[in-house]
Amino acid sequence: MTVLSVNLNKIAVLRNSRGHDRPDLPTAAHVCMAAGCGGITVHPRPDQRHIRPQDVRELAAMTRGQVEFNVEGNPFAGPRDDYPGFLELVRETRPDQVTLVPDSDDQLTSDHGFDLARDLDRLADALQVIHAAGARCSLFIDAGHDSASAFEAAARAGVERVEIYTGPYADAFAAGQPQAELERCAQTARRAYAAGMAVNAGHDLSQRNLGAFKQAIPGLAEVSIGHALISEALYAGLDATVRAYLDILS
């Protein structure tokens, strides 16, 4: 079964808007875990617009041995104020999975992935840190852009998974024309599988579009879902919404 990893960034956005400690991230994580999710995801950025370093530390401790903890971020993000740098957080908290994303402060949200052919060499040091911390490495990539040889090179370099950026698919689904984007995602998954890597997916997946995506990607290992899930939970409740996603994935 495909693992559902719940991204808690939006819970942190709501908390930070008041400057206090409510809603509480560990409590939200506990509700998601009790409902049956298989993972918790956070994306600590240097500007701390949502997840803060202390959140990463607390969630790493509470998820260990319970569900997978996935930390997303830019491996080139260095220290700033009390943000110790992305790779230093990885060294300290030792998550189960690290998803490398080429984001920057001026992006509202992640909107593109790494180019395997172009970026792999400069990711070598980050891969070494991630593996030394005992974590699996996943690379956030665009669908349809990389060649079979690029996937093979990534696998040789120690990349265990790719996470397909599904924003374009979600947009195409909303427009009523998802098939071309679905095929691009499926082609990317086939190339990853052929190279010996597993496939994750994330960004703008929702209850509405998740079923078709999972059907198109046999063997999908994990989906990381935050914005849509937390939005839907405002109406239905967090426990019920997590369970609804799990029903789709099963």
Task: List the CATH number of the domain containing 63.
Answer: 3.20.20.70
- Compute, in degrees rounded to 10, the torsion defined by CA atoms 118, 156, 112, 132: -110
Token output for 16: 């930070």
Helices 227-236 and 238-249: crossing angle in degrees, nearest 10, is 120
Closest listed residue to residue 100, CA positions, set 121, 79, 66, 75: 75
- State the Cα–Cα distance between residues 36 and 47, nearest whole angstrom: 31
Q: What is the pLDDT of residue 185?
A: 98
Q: What is the pLDDT of residue 229?
A: 98
* Helix ranges (DSSP H) in the chain: 9-16, 25-35, 53-63, 86-93, 116-119, 124-132, 148-157, 167-174, 179-194, 207-216, 227-236, 238-249
Q: What is the pLDDT of residue 127?
A: 98
Within 13 A of 197's CA, how many CA atoms are on the CB side?
A: 30
Where in the sequence is the domain holding 88, given as residue range(s)?
3-249
- State the Cα–Cα distance between residues 112 and 229, nearest whole angstrom: 21
SS3 (DSSP) at 230: helix
CB 166 within 8 A of CB 115: no
- State the Cα–Cα distance between residues 19 and 13, nearest whole angstrom: 10
Q: What is the pLDDT of residue 225?
A: 98
Known catalytic residues are 43, 72, 203
Q: pLDDT digit of tens for each residue in the chain (250 aa)?
A: 999 999 999 999 999 999 888 999 999 999 999 999 999 999 999 999 999 999 999 999 999 999 999 999 999 999 999 999 999 999 999 999 999 999 866 555 666 789 998 999 999 999 999 999 999 999 999 999 879 999 999 999 999 999 999 999 999 999 999 999 999 999 999 999 999 999 999 999 999 999 999 999 999 999 999 999 999 999 999 999 999 999 999 9
| pTM of the model as a whole | 0.95
Residues β-bridged to residue 6: 40, 225
Q: What is the pLDDT of residue 106?
A: 59
Domains contained in the chain, number: 1
Task: For residue 214, report the phi and psi dihedrals to the nearest 5 degrees.
Answer: -60, -40
